[in-house]
Amino acid sequence: MSATPQSGDLKNRILFTIFILCIYRLGTFVPLPGIDPEQLQLMMEGNQKGLLGMFNVFAGGAVSRMAIFALGIMPYISSSIIVQLLTGVSDYFKNLKSQGEIGRKKISQLTRYGTVLLATVQGYGLSVGLESSANLVSNPGVFFKISTVTSIVAGTIFLMWLGEQITQRGIGNGISLIIFSGIVAEIPRALVTTFELGRTGAISTFMIIALFILLILTIMFIVFMERALRKILINYPKRQMGNKIYGGDSSHLPLKINQAGVIPAIFASALLLLPVTFSNFNLSGNETFLNIASYFSQGQPLYMILYASGIIFFTFFYTSIVLFHL
């Protein structure tokens, strides 16, 4: 039996998506020029709990190799969130949104401009941080800053373009697939490490099985909360026209329980990890600053209190903007 045109188109879309994701994975292994890989490995071992460690998870290990995709798609996500919030508080963006397709194209263009701006700022900050680490950069100076910022911005723009190509010619949302592929890229290494610990007797077989069961239950709970809805009952009044009565029906308004998603957790984590990251970069030799930064380490009581408070605040802020001002 010959394949139908629909199945052939689906096959081409799947192959195109896989091809683009392979290009993305190859890009995570292209390093920035002028960086000592051995010193980089030592620095990353001390920053696993810092801001770089969080970025490394979303970038699929590109930060640990300091590749051209080190920032990943995070500048585009941040720009999209900012533009989305502005559509709820700015009359200019509200007017753009009400203009239909023309307005959406203009908003997309502004989002891309914001991505370039954020990538430039973050790339410059990354170059300064790399130079502040001893013996990490071979030839520090203006040329290293320019080459690093140029490579980082070009990599971010190219990654954004790859995501748009997947959305247009592939399957699903390209940006989401790039984030997903970056996160799951580290799963094989984690599995190998876990099984190696089990083989050497560091972790019992029962503990490994319990970890997998807990992982499955956690994923199920996350999916359940993400899909959960609260149905607000809506009753329509009855109308009498002559001898007939119309209306009186009831319906419901579905509202997601988790309107903000993971955005509050990302914002709160990024803010709380900044002091630890600055101290690891040796940007401050002040002992008082280092002592204060130690209280913001993961697991500390102050960190847990501020983290929970930050999630509550950003959840309320984001939900109020999206739900009540759109």
Q: Distance between CA atoms of 315 and 181, rounded to whole angstroms? A: 26
For residue 95, is pLDDT > 50?
yes
The mean predicted confidence, pLDDT, of the chain is 79
What was the pLDDT predicted at 289?
Answer: 63
Neighbours of 78 (CB within 10 A): 19
What was the pLDDT predicted at 279?
Answer: 59
pLDDT digits (tens, 9 = 90+) for 280-296: 555 445 666 667 666 76
| pLDDT range class, residue 1, cuts 50, 70, 90 | very low
| pLDDT range class, residue 90, cuts 50, 70, 90 | confident
CA distance to 23, 178, 231, per residue, from 181 (Å): 12, 5, 34
Q: Report the range of poorest mean pLDDT among 81-90, 192-201, 272-281.
A: 272-281
**All CATH 1.10.3370.10 domain ranges in the chain, comma separated:** 1-185
Q: Identify any residues that bridge with 256 across adjacent strands, giving them in sequence order.
A: 229
Q: Distance between CA atoms of 238 and 170, rounded to whole angstroms? A: 49
For domain 1-185, which CATH number applies: 3.40.50.150, 3.40.50.1100, 1.10.3370.10, 3.50.50.60?
1.10.3370.10
What was the pLDDT predicted at 322?
Answer: 66
Choose between 210 and 36: higher pLDDT.
210
β-strands 250-256, 238-241 pairing: unpaired
Distance of CA 70 to the CA centre of its chain: 13
Choose between 281 and 305: higher pLDDT.
305
Q: Distance between CA atoms of 86 and 78, rounded to whole angstroms? A: 12
Q: Report the range of poorest mean pLDDT among 95-104, 220-229, 253-262, 284-293.
A: 284-293
What was the pLDDT predicted at 196?
Answer: 81
| pLDDT range class, residue 10, cuts 50, 70, 90 | confident
Structure tokens, 207: 């503990």
Q: Distance between CA atoms of 171 and 180, rounded to whole angstroms? A: 13
pLDDT digits (tens, 9 = 90+) for 61-81: 677 778 888 888 888 877 887
DSSP state letter for 138: S
For residue 51, is pLDDT > 60?
no
Q: Scan for tokens 């990354």, then name that residue.
A: 126
pLDDT digits (tens, 9 = 90+) for 233-245: 877 777 767 667 6
β-strands 229-235, 238-241 pairing: unpaired
